[in-house]
Amino acid sequence: MIYTFNLMVELEPNGVDVAQAYRGQIFRKLGCPARFVFTQVPPRYKWDYYLSLGYAEDEIVIAHMLLTDQRDMTLTMSVEKMKRGLNLHSTPIERDQELIFPEENGISLVFHRNTLKSNYVDYVDYYVAGHLLCREHYGSVKLYTEYFTAVPTDAGLEARVFQRLFYNLDGSVALEEIKKTPGDLTKSVYRQGTHWFYSESELLSQAIGTLQFSTKDHIIVDRLERLTFTQTLLKMKGEATLSCVLHSIHHWGDCINSEYFLLFQYANYFDHIIVSTEAQKEELERDLSTDKPVSVLPVGGLESLQYSDNRKPYSLMIAARFERRKRLDLAIDAVVALHEKIPEVTLDIYGQGMLWQEIEEKIKQLNAQSYIHLKGHQDLQTRFKEYELYLATSEWETFGLTLLEAIGSGLVMVGTDVPYGNPTFIKNDRNGFLVPFVNQSHEEVVADLKRSMQKAFGNLSFLREGSYKLAERYMTDQIIGQWREFLTNRGKNYDVLSGK
């Protein structure tokens, strides 16, 4: 069995989620049994988000449920089955994904239907006098119940979790969680029968112990910062193979990235370290004082190359979160400068984030609304091939899934020469141009980007072919082969194809 720990429940959607989903697809194609372990109880919208990325429902495990006898949390509770089970005969009011049943005996019920499977019920809310009392979560049977209390806030009373009960298949309570302070992410104590756990770390030690790791198991940890289970895994891995995956740059100048303090401190406890580019492998082998092998396994791949004979002339695109390190300001200033030379040029920026209003205002101040457009979050699977050029201005990219998708759609690439994704997917004079970034002023970078884009538009056919050629290295069939070799040759007596 392959266990992946640390789905990023607390964080905004990010590339780690996508990388894990892709890894799961690779394992399924290899016939490898796998589980993805939530170490926190995810809200249902996060659960659906993970499923939408390609996680398999029967492969997701909530660590708390390891202390019950329920292992498969696949949602099979239909609306009709739920109505029969709760003996409901009245006609509900339908509102979006909710079915609201009229109040009876002072209690009203709301079914929340799954956003991906609308005939099935994720959870049922119970209201008393208009206040949320509890929420029952379902798979094939009831998984756990959350109990709420009203907490005063500046915006008025707010319902917050103060207790959770986790159930066995027969409906008996297997585990109780009691919040020290009401809230989703506040600290808790736990009770299993007469045994108490006074921290999340103690609970996870008990839960992880039920997995009984052996030589047939491979444990993969994504990121290490603030992970209450990391030291537990180091202690309890037994004969299993333990690998750590790096999803970001591991150093800032001469300083270690805080996400990876534990890796540098406990490097010898890991059997393997996985990065996504050759450039980071070289740096990590230099910086990490260990003889543990560092392997390169791309976090994404391409099912096919996307071709088009109908690209919009002089069109550029970017897909990025609106955050400081993406340096969208550089991209906007460079395109504004290019517009003076090529009036037909357009830039579409896909994504969202905290800097949306700031970026929107900058575009207005530059009177660039007619040719620079904010497109928000969209499904980009078939959008890349509508454009001629991709602009990559981030301060760093560990891999850059959007860069991979861009070259797979034949976009010519222009970007900053920064670790690690840009030099991986942008090859000077072959499929685009890298411009100097370190020790360069804003104005110098903007000028170099403008010149490089202008040069790229003058040689699109040759550079586009270079992108397609580079993309061929990242076809999913090749990535599958790399994972097969890694799991077969790097595990401990583990045959990836047979699970033995």
Same domain, 272 and 332: no
Its domain, for residue 44, covers 2-70+205-296
Average pLDDT per consecutive 10 residues, the chain (500 residues; last block may be shorter): 77 77 95 90 81 89 94 92 93 93 89 93 94 95 95 87 97 96 87 94 91 93 72 87 88 75 84 93 86 92 95 97 95 98 98 95 98 94 96 94 97 97 97 97 98 98 98 96 89 50
Same domain, 20 and 120: no
Contacts of 330 (CB under 8 A, 6+ apart): 393, 416, 442, 445, 446, 449
The string over 98-123, giving b where at least 16 C-beta atoms fall within 10 Å of a residue's C-beta and e elsewhere, is ebebeeeeeebbbbbbbbeeeebbbb
Same domain, 56 and 144: no
Query: Does residue 241 lie within any of the structural domains?
Result: yes
Same domain, 51 and 159: no
Query: Does residue 215 lie within any of the structural domains?
Result: yes
**Confidence at residue 490, expressed as pLDDT on a 0 to 100 scale:** 65
Query: Does residue 307 lie within any of the structural domains?
Result: no
**Confidence at residue 493, expressed as pLDDT on a 0 to 100 scale:** 44
Query: Does residue 109 lie within any of the structural domains?
Result: yes
Same domain, 31 and 10: yes
Specify the CATH number for the domain of residue 326.
Answer: 3.40.50.2000
Same domain, 131 and 155: yes
Same domain, 115 and 193: yes
CA atoms of 493 and 495, how far apart (whole Å): 7
State whether the Cα torsion 348-349-352-353 is positive or negative. Answer: negative
CA atoms of 297 and 288, how far apart (whole Å): 18
Same domain, 131 and 256: no
Same domain, 292 and 319: no
Q: What is the dihedral of CA 273, 71, 43, 140, to 10 degrees?
A: 150
Residue 36 in contact with residue 59, Cβ under 8 Å?
yes
State whether the Cα torsion 328-331-337-338 is positive or negative. Answer: negative
Same domain, 65 and 108: no
Question: How many distinct structural domains can be found in the chain?
Answer: 3
User: DSSP state, 311?
Assistant: P
Q: Which two tokens stand for residue 120?
A: 């099935």
Q: Which two tokens stand for residue 210?
A: 């039920």
CA atoms of 445 and 443, how far apart (whole Å): 6
**Best CA proximity match to 348, nearest among 308, 406, 425, 304:** 406
Same domain, 9 and 94: no
Query: Does residue 396 lie within any of the structural domains?
Result: yes
- H runs (alpha helix) in 58-199: 79-85
**Confidence at residue 256, expressed as pLDDT on a 0 to 100 scale:** 77
**Confidence at residue 500, expressed as pLDDT on a 0 to 100 scale:** 47
**Apex CA 325: angle with CA 320 and CA 330, to 5°?**
80
**Confidence at residue 235, expressed as pLDDT on a 0 to 100 scale:** 86
**Confidence at residue 495, expressed as pLDDT on a 0 to 100 scale:** 52
**Confidence at residue 9, expressed as pLDDT on a 0 to 100 scale:** 58
> What's at 181, amino acid-wise?
T
Query: Does residue 50 lie within any of the structural domains?
Result: yes
**Confidence at residue 372, expressed as pLDDT on a 0 to 100 scale:** 98
Query: Does residue 229 lie within any of the structural domains?
Result: yes
Same domain, 171 and 248: no
